[in-house]
Amino acid sequence: MNLRRPLSALLGAGVLLLPATAHAQRVPLEQIVSATGTVTVTWHGDPARGCAAAGVCDVSGVATLPADQSGLSFGGTVGAKPAEVSVELEQGTTRVVRGPLTDPLGVCVDRADADVTLAPRRGAGGSVTFVQRGVFAARVKGRCAGPLAADLKDVLPSATISAEAARRDHQQLRLRGTRPFVSGPYTGTVVTHLDADVDYGPADEEQFDPDGPPPTAGPVTTAPTMVMATFTFALQTPGGTLTRTFGGADGCATLDACGMAGTDTLTVPAAASTQLRLSTTISRSRLRGRGVSAVRDAILRRGVQFDGAGPADLAGGRWNRTVAFGGATTACGETAEPGPLSLESRRSGQVLRLALGTDRDTTTSAFLRCPGPGAALASDFVGIDPPPAVGDVPLATLLRGQKVTTTLRSPAAPRSADRGFRVQATGGIDVTLELTDTKVEAF
């Protein structure tokens, strides 16, 4: 069930793209989407797009993405109909072949899940056309060679319903069509055969609160009972390189990793004036004394967690992957600029752990088109996929204003995305932190 999408996202285009009309309702509605059918994405290395240079001319693949087979998707609570429709493509399969289809040199199989969003646009006479919004939101590890989800833009056909149908509580969207796409060295097509039944019904009033809670009656507390502390650190790095070499491990036959030899190199540029911010809210009753030192003592002594963090962005990183197969004359090579790398932080006891990576959900930067360990830059920070590089700094030293240096290295724990591969990481990136500002506000 699609509970991942925030309410604001559901409301967003539905409200913005469709200006209020006489028919528009501003009452909470529950949207339920029941979808059937399949989106099929096929691709192959294309000489006209430089597949020879990328080493993928013998690569072809297909991703079969069926609509969520449970049949129902709770779209959420929306303010008007027709609203955006999100279709979950679940339990899909990516199959990528290297060499001839009937007796391939290697086969890679991976799970492929994605969400696609259809945004309504009002047309002539009040008809409504649903069009693909954004790119495919992939939830994959991306270990097989193929296009990036971020390249799958404007590949779904549109579906139009009449003005009368748009006013109904039950709307049927039929999406049929074939559209081409290109992605790096690949050329492909997307074949869509999707039916979505969208039902609107009255929603639970308590769950719909677009403007926030109503003002409360009764006395208003004026005396500040809480303090919010924000620590700002200057972050410097001379830059550095993280290298991961990889090859096939147990089960490599399912990921076409047997005989594979590859290298990922992440180069982080020098940064002189990046900031990292941490904030926390503490009850005044937990403070012994006043001012910054009292707050700092409470954090260290009582284990107060940071509830807000401003990650430090490191622009200009480069990611290079080369992959070769034993006996093959060509190798897959790719260089990507993964966008801003972020240095996130999380407290663990008396240590602040810095983690380098990108958001797993990003569709733009966390994956490569060459095969290999998946989502090498993605990090969910909860243990399934540890961050690509981490470093610890003592919290007490840091909060007392002393300059602290640590080296970000690949963690020892295996990453889920590395399964099927044997990975060895080397290198490190030095990072220096120094407290530059502390702000304490009472409220």
Partner 1 sequence: MRTHRSLRRSAAALLGAALLSAAAAPAWAQTPEKELGSARGFASGELVVTFHSDPATCASTGACGLDGTMRWSMDGATRLGVTESGGKTRFALGGVGRDDGGVVVRRRTASGAVRVCTDTAPPFQGTLITGAGGVTAGAPATVRLIGENAVGVASLCPGPLLEDLAAYTPAATVDFAALRRGNVRLDLRGERSFVAHGLAIALRSTVVVDVGRVNAARATDSGRPSTDRTLASVYTVERVDGDVRFASSGPADPAACVLVDACGARATTVLAPRATSGTVRLVASASTKVSRRALLVALGLAEGKDDERVELGLLGSFDGGVASTEVVREDAQGVCRDTRPLKTGSVIGVGDSDGLAVSYLPFPEPRSRCGTPLVPFDLFSPGTVANVLSRADARRDRIVLRFDRASQLELSGFPTAVTPDLTVTLRRKSRRAVTYP
Positive or negative, the CA dihedral 414, 356, 112, 197 is: positive
Output the CA angle 244-247-252, nearest 5 degrees: 135
Q: How far is the CB of 208 from partner 1 (least distance, A)?
A: 17
Q: Cβ 315 to partner 1, closest distance in Å?
A: 31
Nearer to partner 1 by Cβ, of 21 and 207: the residue is 207
For residues 254 and 402, which CB has a smaller minimum distance to partner 1 in the complex?
254
Closest CA relative to residue 287, chosen from 248, 229, 209: 229
195 to 234: interface string for partner 1, x by CB under 8 A: ----x-x---------------------------------
Smallest gap, in angstroms, from Cβ of residue 201 to partner 1?
7
Q: Which is nearer to partner 1, 30 or 392 (CB)?
A: 30
**Which of 63/152 has CB closer to partner 1?**
63
Q: Which of residues 396-435 bind partner 1 (CB under 8 A)?
A: 414, 416, 419-420
86 phi/psi in degrees, rounded to 5: -105, 130
Q: Among residue numbers 255 through 314, which ones bind partner 1 (CB under 8 A)?
A: 255
Task: Indicate whether 113 belongs to the interface with partner 1 (CB under 8 A).
Answer: yes
Under a CB-based contact definition with an 8 Å cutoff, are residues 159 and 118 in contact? Answer: yes
How far is CA 291 from each of CA 276, 288, 436, 438, 440, rounded to the nearest angstrom? 21, 10, 16, 10, 7
- Which lies closer to partner 1 via its Cβ, residue 315 or residue 384? 384
Answer yes or no: are the C-beta atoms of 85 and 91 closer than 8 Å.
no
Buried b (16+ CB within 10 A) or exposed e, 355-372: bbbbbbebbebbbbbbbb
Q: How far is the CB of 246 from partner 1 (least distance, A)?
A: 16
217 versus 382: smaller Cβ distance to partner 1: 382
With contact defined as beta carbons under 8 Å apart, do 343 and 388 qualify?
Answer: no
Residue 97 engages partner 1 in binding (rule: CB under 8 A): yes
Q: Minimum CB separation from partner 1 for residue 416, in Å?
A: 4
Q: Would you say 58 or 199 has its CB closer to partner 1? A: 199
Tell me: does residue 110 bind partner 1 (CB under 8 A).
yes
CB of 32 to partner 1, least distance (A): 9
Residues in the chain: 443
Q: Is 47 in the site for partner 1 (CB under 8 A)?
A: no
Amino acid code (one letter) for 151: D
Count of other CB atoms within 10 angstroms of residue 308? 11
Toward partner 1, which CB reaches closer, 105 or 396? 105
Instruction: Out of 81, 133, 141, 353, name the contact with partner 1 by CB under 8 A.
Output: 141
Measured distance CA(264)–CA(423) in Å, rounded: 10
168 near partner 1, judged by CB under 8 A: no
Nearer to partner 1, 97 or 276 (CB): 97
Q: Rounded to the nearest whole angstrom, what is the least distance from the CB of residue 150 to partner 1 in the complex?
A: 21
Of the candidates 49, 396, 39, 398, the one whose C-alpha atom is nearest the C-alpha of residue 234 is 398
* Minimum CB–partner distance for residue 223 and partner 1 (Å): 38
The DSSP output letter for 255 is B
Shortest Å distance, C-beta 346 to partner 1: 17
Other C-beta atoms closer than 10 Å to the C-beta of 127 total 15
Q: How far, in whole angstroms, is CA 360 from its chain's centroid?
A: 4
Q: Which residue has the tokens 């309410």?
A: 7
Considering only the stretches 96-104, 331-339, 351-359, 400-408, report the one whose residues sit in contact with partner 1 under the rule CB under 8 A. 96-104
The neighbouring-strand residues paired with 122 are: 128
- In angstroms, the Cα distances linking 435 to 249, 296, 340 are 44, 12, 23
| Distance in angstroms (rounded) separating the CA atoms of residues 429 and 407 | 5
User: Which 52-71 residues touch partner 1, going by CB under 8 A?
Assistant: 62, 64, 69-71
* Of the residues 2, 25, 93, 320, which one makes contact with partner 1 according to CB under 8 A: 93
Interface size with partner 1, residues (CB under 8 A): 36
Residues in touch with partner 1 (CB under 8 A): 42, 62, 64, 69-72, 91, 93, 95, 97, 101-104, 107-111, 113, 141, 199, 201, 250-251, 253-255, 382-384, 414, 416, 419-420
